[in-house]
A and B are shown apart, each in its own frame.
Chain A
Amino acid sequence: MREDRRQGVSLLLPGLALLVLLFYLPQLLMLVVSLGRRTAYGGVERSLSIANYLRAVEPLYLAILGRSLVLAAVTTVLCLLVAYPVAWWIARRAPARWRNALLALVILPFWTSFLVRMYAWIVLLRSEGVVNLALGAAGLPPADLLYNDFAVLLGQLYGELPFMIIPLYVSLEKLDPSLLEAAADLGADARRTFTRVVVPQTMPGIVAGCVLVFIPSLGAYLAPDLLGGGKTAYIGNLIQSQFAVARDMPFGAALSFVLSLVVVLLLLAFRRPLRSAQAL
């Protein structure tokens, strides 16, 4: 018993050490910074003031946070709608021997940096880009594809899609086909088999995929910056610019904590469906 416990602790140790060193300590530092004051040259003067937090919840910044929530929500819903049929096809329709290759294709974009892939989208979408050249060749008027919300959403959808496909695939692959037959046998047509059996049975994958897509999307700044042209501010860009441009680390840190708080509150609000998904 004692031996088991010691072994348990020693197995945990590397992960715990990393977590403390690279997550909790930096978080603590950030907390200290967020309560500080910005000096004239972008340094931090230590204090215990909540002024940065009060500023972070001013209407201007709340509007930006709201916009980010909408972007993350729309990204998540679009990902779910696109990923579900793809995951279904790979898990249940594609020949079994192709499955691993198809999954590899889903993950393949990760072999290249996200930044590079965003630039690739610029090449595709800009006014003299590949898409517009093709449109012109077909005698169609050019379309305004880059530096707008459409481009941001497209970039987000593209970037987050694998994080939705993989968990959906895992839960669809586990789905017992005899349950689908049982549903049909009991009078359910295809639509109701899907809503009454398939969706509840794959809820763990749906929840996992949504969490994996929604949370990073909330803090996204690369796609809004590069594909949106920085025209619309999202919370991720705002935080990034506080550190890199405005050199107001205390305010940037406070904004980060507000964002983290929002994520925690959302996870708490959805803990019931999250837990029921785990119970399956």
Chain B
Amino acid sequence: MKGELRIRNVSRSYGDVDAVRDVSLDVPAGEFVTLLGPSGCGKTTLLRLVAGFERADSGSISISGRDVAGLPAHKRPVNTVFQHYALFPHRTVFGNVAFGLEMDATPKAEVRGKVERALELVRLAGLGGRRIHELSGGQKQRVALARALVLEPDVLLLDEPMAALDPKLRKEMQVELKNLQERLRITFLFVTHDQDEALVMADRIAVMNHGRVEQVGGPEELYERPRTRFVADFLGVANLFRATVTAVRDGVAHVRTESGFAFDAASDGGYREGSPAWVGLRPERISLTERSGNVFEGTIDDEVFLGDWTDWRVRVGSEVLSVGEGNVLARGRKRGDAVTLSFPPDAVLRLDDPGGEA
């Protein structure tokens, strides 16, 4: 089906470095999928393998049901929005957007109409005559988008296209790009290292680490149920503990960290009595006002003011927990205050650690 992308057991290494290891990913037509991960995780290499700028050592990639192994980049039904836009400085805005149409020998009469429609789509109507160096960063980004979209690719590849924009503009572009994708229903494969960006825009997110896809899921699913220590850490689960399961009964596991911090976790069936386990706790799931579930006495060690909320560093025994509290609620706490913190057992996330020792 047009727009469908299938990646099967793809690997690519450079010398001793395995950039992409045995990655499989299915993207149905019209879906917005984000590859999320830190720099060096292989997300850009994977994108470049789909674009045809790199060759896979093994595995296969098919686009719209067709294996593209033998197809060079210029024959693949995909187009790319590059990180630094890669606009042609010797051409005008119009000339940049028209480039691909000239290559596939679109009749001159049609080129003008198509380019103008593409520029309208990215809200740059009337700027066709501008030179590239006269544009702002946001405008360049739109030109890059129009240049790729005008060819109506089966899959649009976006390589950190927002990285060079300032935060406010980036927020606007995220929403705009998301709306554009929903209107056009073109498959988007979007690479970013920014978890907020991924959560805002994607239908599904593939979190990558050390060349592997660690978890694939919708934004809410990933946020609520990260499966591995790495995914949890990357998506803002600030409290991570290596613990031992001391008991499992009635759907509740009792876990204890090396320093003696012990609490109950709602069991998903994955805890084994006597075995080690990684567990995580989101800062915003810990309350300083309620007293139910796991309840501890602690003192405020430090505070990090983050605008709409404050990140309290609360010491409980020898552990320091990160506790998020909305600033509407944060009433006059200060460093050194004694506090009571609590969290329900179902806030505790059980995490695998495929790369680690646990």
Contacts and interface: CB of A to CB of B under 8 A. Distances in A.
A183 B51 CA distance: 12
Given A192-B103, A196-B102, 6 more contacts: A176-B86, A185-B80, A186-B74, A186-B151, A188-B99, A196-B99
Nearest to B150: A186
B84 A184 contact: no
25 contacts: A178-B84, A179-B86, A181-B51, A181-B73, A181-B82, A181-B86, A182-B86, A184-B52, A184-B73, A185-B53, A185-B73, A185-B78, A185-B79, A186-B79, A186-B100, A186-B103, A186-B147, A186-B151, A187-B100, A187-B151, A197-B88, A200-B88, A200-B90, A201-B90, A203-B90
Contacts of B53: 181, 184-185
A188 B86 contact: no
B357 interface: no
A268 interface: no
B89 A187 contact: no
Main secondary structure on chain A at its contact with chain B? helix
Interface in B85-133: 86-90, 99-100, 102-104
A179 B80 contact: no
Interface in A78-98: none
Interface string A165-199: 00000000000101101111111110010001100
Interface hub of A176, A186, A280 (most chain B Cβ within 10 A): A186
A182 B78 CA distance: 12
A187 B74 CA distance: 4
Contacts of A201: 88-90
Interface in B39-70: 51-53
A183 to B, nearest CB: 7
Contacts of B355: none
Contacts of B75: 187
A176 B83 CA distance: 13
B72 interface: yes
Contacts of B73: 181, 184-185
Contacts of B88: 179, 182-183, 197, 200-201
Nearest to A186: B100
Interface hub of A187, A189, A203 (most chain B Cβ within 10 A): A187
Contacts of A176: 86
A182 B89 contact: no
Contacts of B100: 186-187
Interface in A21-77: none
Nearest to B87: A182
Interface of B: 51-53, 72-75, 78-80, 82, 84, 86-90, 99-100, 102-104, 147-148, 151
B48 to A, nearest CB: 8
B338 to A, nearest CB: 57
B82 A182 contact: yes
Nearest to B83: A178
Contacts of B151: 186-187
Interface hub of B52, B79, B87, B90 (most chain A Cβ within 10 A): B90
Contacts of A181: 51, 53, 73, 80, 82, 86
B53 to A, nearest CB: 5
Contacts of B51: 181, 185
Nearest to A185: B80
A280 B80 contact: no
A179 B53 CA distance: 12
A200 B89 CA distance: 9
A181 B74 CA distance: 9
Contacts of A192: 103
Given A188-B103, A192-B103, A182 B74 contact: no
A280 B132 CA distance: 11
Nearest to B53: A181
Contacts of A178: 82, 84, 86
Given A185-B51, A186-B100, A187-B103, A280 B74 contact: no
A185 B74 CA distance: 5
Contacts of A187: 74-75, 100, 103-104, 151
A183 B104 CA distance: 12
Identify the 8 closest CB pairs spanning chains A and B, nearest first. A186-B100, A187-B103, A182-B86, A178-B86, A184-B73, A200-B90, A184-B74, A185-B80
B72 A184 contact: yes
B99 A183 contact: yes
A184 B86 CA distance: 12
Nearest to A193: B74
A197 to B, nearest CB: 6
Nearest to B84: A178
A176 B151 CA distance: 23
Interface hub of B72, B87, B89, B103 (most chain A Cβ within 10 A): B103
A188 to B, nearest CB: 5
Contacts of A186: 74, 79, 99-100, 103, 147-148, 151
Contacts of B82: 178, 181-182
